[in-house]
Homo-oligomer: A and B are copies of this chain.
């Protein structure tokens, strides 16, 4: 790629360097650490799959066991367990055991708020 950038003011360069230096610098200071961005995207990624989102939504309505989730969402049991593992590792979901049955529920109230907010957004077409 050629270097095709003509500065209009000193400090204002373009093409892969940015036209508005002041804006860039100002925003740069407000950006989260790149590590935080990775964590945050990993978090949102959990909501980015429809089957997992189904699980999350269901758990936002009621505590449920693995078996019930399978029935509700018509998924195979290992698939549900896998997703629940992901969700648990990232503390979206918590579990309690009662005999053979393991019950899952949302770990946090933020989660259902996030769900509703997202739904609001796509609803206002």
Q: List residues of chain A with CB under 8 Å of any chain B CB.
A: 2, 4-5, 14-20, 23-24, 26-28, 30-32, 34, 36-50, 52-54, 57-58, 61-62, 64-65, 67-68, 70-72, 76-77, 98-101, 108, 110-111, 113-115, 117-122
Contact = CB atoms under 8 A, between A and B. Distances in A.
A77 B40 contact: no
B53 A40 contact: yes
A30 B61 contact: yes
A67 B14 contact: yes
A16 B62 contact: no
Given A41-B48, A43-B118, A18 B62 contact: no
Nearest to A28: B72
